[in-house]
Amino acid sequence: MNTKVVDPAIIEKANQWLQDSYDEDTRLAVQNMIQFDESELIESFYRDLEFGTGGLRGIMGTGTNRMNKYTVGTATQGLANYLLSSFPIENGISAAIAFDSRNKSQYFAQVAANILAANGIKVYLFENLRPTPELSYAVRKLKCKAGIVITASHNPKEYNGYKVYWDDGGQLVPPHDKNVITEVQKIKSVDDIKFTGGEDNIVMIGSEIDESYINKIKSLSLNPDIIKKHKDLNIVFTAIHGTGAVSVPPALKAFGFTNVNTVEEQMVPDGNFPTVISPNPEEKAAMSMALDKAREINADLILATDPDADRVGVGVKDNKGQYILLNGNQSASLLIYYLVTQWEKKGKLTGKEYIVKTIVTSELLKDIARSRNIDSFDVLTGFKYIAEIIRQHEGERVFIGGGEESYGYLVGDFVRDKDAVSSCCMLAETAAWAKEQGLTMYELLIDIYTQFGFYLEDLISVTKKGKSGAEEIKAMMDGYRSNPPESINGLHVLSVKDYQAQTETILLTGKKYPIELPKSDALQFILEGGSKITVRPSGTEPKIKFYFGVKGQLKNKDHFFEVNNAMRSNLEGMIDAMGLR
């Protein structure tokens, strides 16, 4: 390779990884890149894998921009240093660690456990793979100061990740996120990382936490008598080779559902995800085997979880008898509608209850809550912000539920991250309740639209990989900020919300209003008639995301397909107008 065309800073970084402090396999991999693979060398070393506000996520491999023993080690040592500076060690500091089914997840979990333990921190390490929400629960149950889960959620198989939780069971929020990042950045050498020396501080955990977690989920049930009546609700479940296989079937059984049919090929944990291209329940291809199973047995409900079981995809039968997949906004709307109507029916509403949604999630959730005089909070994208609201109101107000359009929902507050295990149970209970009313889930959704307005949403993700892709995404965001559209598909843009500048600008007058949320690289175009478009770079993937939402009126459910087609045409027009087709 002609190293003259490679940035000297990259060569310098790579050469540091040839030192004896790194293991032999790592040194050999770096040497091969230097000699034979210029493009891989650049991608592996052009930057440090960023420890962001949620932790790490990246492609597994060798280099500063990859998930490996040393990048995980640096992150963990930084976390250990912050924990030691935040809490007196003599009082005891503990952390819980879980991992999913991805390749090297268990290895990275053990690396992290060893480092925390070597720093004198007691570690509760799950003996086998467990869902992310159970890690959040364990942090709270065991009164830990922090938690780590090794997962890249629904990313492709090449990826892995590292998420950090604080003592409330929620992901890191200010000031802890920035403080941990500062400590991580202080580590300049792998020699500063304590990889061994405290193995006696590691305690293995498993079934006792499982039992406690599932009992808490069972306590969420609002209508156990209805479940008894419809215990044979015909459910298809797939774990898509992830941790849902460990927890979802036992949780559904604890709820009382007796007819859960699993997609056996996808119940085997496997980080190669052999039956799917991507283990993402948001994608129809990942749900194809579950759809086939549903058709075979005439199922009432399809449920699918991602590798770390914090997201759930839902499939139902439409009014034409065809199985369809609900989007995240629709599933969230069904869940929130069920929760608030049953809380009202059972006299549980006291005026202190609330729900939380993200800024890119359907306004329908807010409308449903408002109909019962329940407050609704909007937060930035990311479930850590929902957890932060719960923490702020702890002991004073009651969190009913919340969610985000990306298939993540939470019921109750004993977990502080999106929870596909409890969500599967509560969505199944919603389906049983609908059946008791003589409705399918699809018919219930149409009834909700007739009550509150017809909301239709779509998400377009544009992938831009590598260094050049990151630069292109930044240029796109800069362009939207400096020259926002005045109209989109014939609809006037009324205002632009810039969450980075924390201002909303009224285009007609130029008047600006403050946005009372933390800074975030996101833009929203508010259009006439209740439509909106949100643009933001993904925080976990090399993508820029466009969230489209239109609103219409459905006065009679018999007109559903007609109104749906008209709104879909409007939505497609907006997508075309943004140059995304």
Name the burial class of residue 50, with classes exposed (0-12), middle (13-18) and buried (19+) by CB atoms within 10 angstroms of its CB. middle
153 labelled catalytic:
yes
CA distance 579 to 476: 12
CA distance 413 to 398: 9
Is the CA virtual torsion 446, 452, 456, 458 positive or negative?
negative
How far apart are the two ends of the chain, measured CA to CA in Å? 39
577 within 8 A of 486, measured Cβ to Cβ: no
Q: What separation in angstroms does the CA of 555 have from each of 152, 166, 490, 552, 570? A: 43, 47, 24, 10, 19
**Nearest CA to 328 among 254, 396, 405?**
405
Rounded to 5 degrees, what are φ and ψ at 513?
Answer: -125, 145
Coil/strand/helix, residue 221: coil
Task: Find the catalytic residue in 136, 153, 247, 422.
Answer: 153
List Cβ neighbours of 8 (8 Å cut-off, separation of 6 or more). none
CA 90 to chain centre: 36
CA distance 519 to 516: 9
In the block, residue with structure tokens 């202080």: 186
Q: What separation in angstroms does the CA of 381 have from each of 41, 193, 357, 517? A: 33, 33, 9, 11
Instruction: Tell how strand 491-498 and strand 503-506 pair up.
Output: antiparallel
Catalytic residues: 153
